Amino acid sequence: MISIKKPKDAPQVLSTKGKNKRRTLCASYTRGKRDFDFDESDKNIYGHKTVKETLIKAQHGKCFLCESVITHIDYGDVEHFRPKAAYCQTEENALCKPGYYWLVYDWDNLFLACKLCNQRYKKNLFPLANPANRAMSHHANIKQEKPLFINPAEENPEDFISFKRGRSGLIEAYAIDDNAKGKTTIDAAGLNDYSKRLKLLERRTALLKPLIALHKVATMNLPQPESDMAKEELRKIIDDVIQDSAEYAGMVRAAVVANFNV
């Protein structure tokens, strides 16, 4: 994960049609409704072409959780950070309703996600440090919540998650200083799931392997000018692969900080 810089102004469809739909949902809650269903007409608003295109641009076509490039093989999902219809504190808990119905069309609550992260892992999960502080309706203040998921638009994921070589020699994510947000986000997104996301770990490792090899060459006691040429080539490559637009940039940045001792 890396920080995501979304445009301050929401796509127009959210501030027009979305705003009207939010007003209707809040009125329904006031009248006693607690079970909200969202259909294709709702998806046509929060998942509107302009919303998805803006998210794709802001996230460089990458999933906000696993940082895999989505757009070269799939359309991706517009994911709600706070679940729209129902939520659960842990995977073992039953779903609780209503969800965050008033945030369905909220720009701050929307990200681009791959189908695996969205539909197989995160789903309706939204754990809080203190569940008693959960905002239960549009009358509550969500700022009182302390989510255990990292919000990449509000905080830097690299303060919570780093990477190192794990079992079988594959590169695994880990929570810095064993922090709760990092652990929860890694587990919930299946970033180290060997049983179901082995290809993700293999892809991360394959990307880092040639960089480690090149670093070893560049730091060898080579004769001049070969030594300077190797170091310059390494610098150019690293400059490319640590950009926000690069796949798994967070992992590569962690490797650079560790001087490739991963």
pLDDT in tens, 61-119: 999 999 999 977 777 899 999 999 999 998 888 899 999 999 999 999 999 999 889 88
- Any domain includes 151: no
pLDDT surpassing 80 at residue 227: no
pLDDT given for residue 215 in this prediction: 80
pLDDT given for residue 217 in this prediction: 76
- Any domain includes 84: yes
Cα distance between residue 120 and residue 63, in whole Å = 14
Tell me, yes or no, whether 122 and 37 share the same domain.
Answer: yes
Tell me, yes or no, whether 18 and 80 share the same domain.
Answer: yes
Considering 144, 165, 182, which residue would you say is the last residue of a domain? 144
Tell me, yes or no, whether 171 and 49 share the same domain.
Answer: no
Tell me, yes or no, whether 164 and 96 share the same domain.
Answer: no
CA nearest to 77, candidates 37, 121, 23, 137: 121
pLDDT given for residue 32 in this prediction: 94
pLDDT given for residue 33 in this prediction: 94
User: Each residue of 185-194: pLDDT tens digit?
Assistant: 999 999 999 9
Tell me, yes or no, whether 133 and 251 share the same domain.
Answer: no
Considering 96, 123, 144, which residue would you say is the last residue of a domain? 144
User: Each residue of 132-182: pLDDT tens digit?
Assistant: 999 999 999 999 999 999 999 999 999 999 999 997 899 999 999 999 999
Tell me, yes or no, whether 167 and 208 share the same domain.
Answer: yes
Tell me, yes or no, whether 237 and 170 share the same domain.
Answer: yes
Helix ranges, the chain (H): 12-13, 19-30, 40-46, 49-58, 115, 180-189, 198-218, 226-241, 249-257
- Any domain includes 23: yes
SS3 state at 249:
helix
Tell me, yes or no, whether 87 and 178 share the same domain.
Answer: no
CA nearest to 162, candidates 224, 51, 255, 41: 255
- Any domain includes 4: no
In the block, residue with structure tokens 């770990």: 201
Please give the mean pLDDT across all residues of the chain. Answer: 91
- Of all residues in the chain, the percent with pLDDT exceeding 70 is 99
Cα distance between residue 105 and residue 19, in whole Å = 7
pLDDT given for residue 222 in this prediction: 67
Tell me, yes or no, whether 119 and 171 share the same domain.
Answer: no
- Any domain includes 196: yes
- Any domain includes 150: no
User: Each residue of 193-202: pLDDT tens digit?
Assistant: 999 999 999 9
Considering 119, 144, 169, which residue would you say is the last residue of a domain? 144
Domain range enclosing 204: 157-257
- Any domain includes 3: no
Tell me, yes or no, whether 41 and 127 share the same domain.
Answer: yes
Tell me, yes or no, whether 111 and 195 share the same domain.
Answer: no
- DSSP code at position 93: S
Tell me, yes or no, whether 100 and 168 share the same domain.
Answer: no
Question: Residue 113: exposed, middle, or buried by beta-carbon count in 10 A (0-12, 13-18, 19+)?
Answer: buried
Cα distance between residue 149 and residue 155, in whole Å = 11
- Any domain includes 149: no
Q: How many domains does the chain have?
A: 2
